[in-house]
Amino acid sequence: MSKIRVENLTKIFGKHPKKILQNVEKGMTREEIFKMTGQTVGISKVNFSVNEGETFVIMGLSGSGKSTLIRCLNLLNKPTAGKIFVDDENIIDYDKKELREFRRNKIAMVFQHFGLFSHKTVIENVEFGLEVKGLSKEERYDISKETLQAVGLKGWENFRISELSGGMKQRVGLARALANDPEIILMDEPFSALDPLIRRDMHSELLDLQSKMKKTIVFITHDVNEAFKLGDRVAVLKDGEIVQIDTPEEIIENPANDYIKNFVRDIDRSRILKAENVMKKAAIKFGKALQPKIAITLLEEADVDYGFIIQRETSKLEGIITIDDLALAVKQKKTIEELMHSDYKAVHKDVYIKEIIEIALDTKYPIAVLNDNEEFIGRIHRGTLLKALI
């Protein structure tokens, strides 16, 4: 179900946004409008929806309109045109009271430069939203303490913000957003001020937290590696317009245009593509009771050297056999069961290619791909692996 749905959202900065809007409607680009009027189109006719529990990443270069867009989602920016539905309510129609409730209960934001009260303590910062909400002192304290522990800041409650490193400050920012238990978390380049190692820690932490919390997250970044690591889906923004929205795998495999192609050129594909993305579904499968002669015919017709031995009722893989083994079986009057190999390698469909490459070095057979029920769903040849990487 979609939690957030954005329709034709446009934000124009300047004195006469409504007038400029007509030009946007006519299809003029941001650059043309700027040249003609000196006014900036922050975002232009943006459409997307975010599913409940999804991490939706918006990626774009500096100035592409990322902050403008995310700040529309909690109405820190008032859109010039368009609609924003959250749980099917157009939040743009909210009156003051409804908006206050919305910001208090449903949505929270984590900012790039932390946005914390630096003279207050860690726990006071986390308690802030709860205080506004009217919780008692004890409740506030308990929730904040627990949330700080969840983000790895146990024992730091009474330190002042000014005494913390950047990474720790952003953990406080995250704790403050989480303490309110919002349904939606907006994150505007939360990790871009952190150095790479700390950033990597924060990525793992966020993925870990999200696997438990299942919040709806809108995450902004200019870093394609970060986008693909965190995002279930990624929207690419260019000059205020969305160019492509897809899963990281889809974007890599089917970039919408040269701009996107260029964007993802340097990405390490082996960390994005998974077994399922590169496997071949078609494979010659048979039971171990099949006559070797018939198995040879099957392999020959398909022009492959290997067959997979499957347990028919369960679709579980039992072994692998080569065409040479089968020839031997015919000659020596042996059964498939006697000659099949069980030292094949199998991976779950969600395993990254990076790991499969290592496994591939360790086997001479194609690698079997299994689903959640450990059923055989496809195969990967070493050649396929290499091809996927270029």
Ligand X SMILES: Nc1ncnc2c1ncn2[C@@H]1O[C@H](COP(=O)(O)OP(=O)(O)OP(=O)(O)O)[C@@H](O)[C@H]1O
Q: For binding to Mg ion (CB under 5 A), which residues are involved?
A: 66-67
Residue 108 pairs with which residues in a beta bridge? 185
User: CA 225, 230, 234, 237 torsion: positive or negative?
Assistant: negative
What's the closest the beta carbon of residue 243 comes to ligand X, in angstroms?
A: 13
Q: Which stretch binds ligand X (CB under 6 A): 44-52, 59-67, 353-361, 363-371?
A: 59-67
Name every residue whose Cβ is closer than 8 Å to that of residue 368 and which is 6 or more positions away in sequence.
308, 317, 320, 344, 345, 346, 347, 376, 378, 379
**Nearer residue to ligand X within complex by CB, 238 or 269:** 238
Q: Which of 62, 158, 211, 342 binds ligand X (CB under 6 A)?
A: 62
Q: Which of 10, 44, 55, 68 binds ligand X (CB under 6 A)?
A: 68
Q: Is 160 in the site for ligand X (CB under 6 A)?
A: no
**Nearer residue to Mg ion within complex by CB, 59 or 320:** 59
**Nearer residue to Mg ion within complex by CB, 114 or 128:** 114
**Nearer residue to ligand X within complex by CB, 60 or 173:** 60
Q: Of 382, 316, 376, give the one whose Cα is nearest residue 353.
A: 382
Q: If contact means CB under 5 to 8 A according to the sort of partner, which of ligand X, Mg ion, none does residue 231 touch?
A: none
CA distance 96 to 84: 16
Q: Is 60 in the site for ligand X (CB under 6 A)?
A: yes
* Binding residue count for ligand X, defined by CB under 6 A: 12
Q: Are 39 and 14 in contact (CB under 8 A)?
A: yes
Which helix (H) or strand (E) segment holds residue 375: the answer is none
CA distance 287 to 284: 10
What's the closest the beta carbon of residue 109 comes to ligand X, in angstroms?
A: 14
Q: Are 379 and 279 in contact (CB under 8 A)?
A: yes
Residue 45: count of CB within 10 angstroms of its CB: 17
CA distances from 7 to 10, 84, 86, 208 (A): 9, 6, 11, 31
What's the closest the beta carbon of residue 301 comes to ligand X, in angstroms?
A: 55
**Nearer residue to ligand X within complex by CB, 46 or 320:** 46
**Nearer residue to ligand X within complex by CB, 30 or 103:** 30
Q: If contact means CB under 5 to 8 A according to the sort of partner, which of ligand X, Mg ion, none does residue 292 touch?
A: none
Strands (E), 135-211: 184-188
Q: Is 64 in the site for ligand X (CB under 6 A)?
A: yes
Taking CB under 6 A as the criterion, which residues in 6-35 touch ligand X? 13
Q: Which of 3, 66, 169, 171 binds ligand X (CB under 6 A)?
A: 66
Q: If contact means CB under 5 to 8 A according to the sort of partner, which of Mg ion, ligand X, none does residue 79 touch?
A: none
Q: Is 221 in the site for ligand X (CB under 6 A)?
A: no
Q: If contact means CB under 5 to 8 A according to the sort of partner, which of ligand X, Mg ion, none does residue 62 touch?
A: ligand X
**Nearer residue to ligand X within complex by CB, 192 or 315:** 192
Q: Are 285 and 310 in contact (CB under 8 A)?
A: yes
Q: Is 239 in the site for ligand X (CB under 6 A)?
A: no
Which helix (H) or strand (E) segment holds residue 242: the answer is strand 241-246
**Nearer residue to Mg ion within complex by CB, 186 or 377:** 186
DSSP states along 246-299: E-HHHHHHS-SSHHHHHHTTTS-GGGT-BHHHH-BS---EE-TTS-HHHHHHHH
Q: Which residues bind ligand X (CB under 6 A)?
A: 13, 40, 42, 60, 62-68, 222
